[in-house]
Amino acid sequence: MRLSMQNMDARLEKRLRQFGGVPLNHGTLLSILGEYRSPNDKIARMVDDGLLKPIKKGTYVVSPEITGIPVSLSLVANLLYGPSYVSMDYALHHYGIIPEMVVEVTSMTTKRGKMFDLPLGRFSYTRSPLDLYAIGVDRVENADHTGYLMASPEKALCDKLLFTRNLNVRTVRGMRELLFDDLRVDEDSLERFDPEVIRACMSAGLKSDMVKALLQVVTSRQGVDS
């Protein structure tokens, strides 16, 4: 009997490994736990043992102990609450634009803002107007070929500026101080920015004077006219 249980667990791990970093729901788990007399009890034990990591009620991700693949917090963020894409501080750190380590996965959504404190970490969502939301969003691919939506570098910075409360810098000098002194933005990264994404954000009409100041800082760094 013990050998049989060991074989069952070995087969289960092999099947779970195939999911990689893709979250799976309770129904999917039940479908691959048919050999077990009490599949819900088995799920609970796997959570207790850290082999399954709960995302939200009825949704899990397989531990890297089984898959060998790190959990993609950005992919989890997309699936946890949507439509959404990762942006602001988390994206800026991902691109190496700001130096500080970011522990909260920050996203934009067209729905109301929301916050989740989960065993995997904290996930926050900020509401964006639809016409602004659609600008400058890219698909980023993980090593296991799963993918998620993340703001482009330019859009992530625009989102950071536009949705930080009580922030409305309107001069080039003030924008330089904000970017390089307060946010510690890597100046060289601005040379790779696409000004058209910033112009599109400016045309959305939200804090347009501040976005214009950002555009002027970026284009002056690139040696082109804004």
The tens digit of pLDDT for each residue in 75-109 reads: 999 999 999 999 999 999 999 999 988 999 999 99
18 and 93 housed in the same domain: no
Q: Report percent pLDDT > 90 for the chain.
A: 68
80 and 130 housed in the same domain: yes
84 and 10 housed in the same domain: no
The pLDDT of 146-171, averaged and rounded, is 95
Give whole-number Cα distances, 139 to 2, 79, 89, 173, in Å: 46, 14, 18, 34
The total number of structural domains that make up the chain: 2
Mean pLDDT check: name the lowest of 1-5, 192-196, 197-201. 1-5
Question: For residue 58, is it left (φ>0), alpha (ψ between -120 and 50) or beta?
Answer: left
- What CA–CA distance (Å, rounded) separates 226 from 219? 6
Domain stop point among 67, 92, 109: 67
The pLDDT of 111-118, averaged and rounded, is 95
SS3 content of the chain, % helix, strand, coil (to 5): 45, 20, 35
Mean pLDDT check: name the lowest of 6-15, 142-151, 196-205. 6-15
| pLDDT value, residue 13 | 87
Domain stop point among 67, 93, 123: 67
State which residues form the domain around 55: 2-67
Mean pLDDT check: name the lowest of 7-11, 42-46, 127-131. 7-11
| pLDDT value, residue 128 | 97
133 and 30 housed in the same domain: no
Domain stop point among 67, 83, 108: 67
36 and 129 housed in the same domain: no
98 and 182 housed in the same domain: yes
Task: Report residue 1's pLDDT band, with 50, 70 and 90 as the boundaries.
Answer: very low
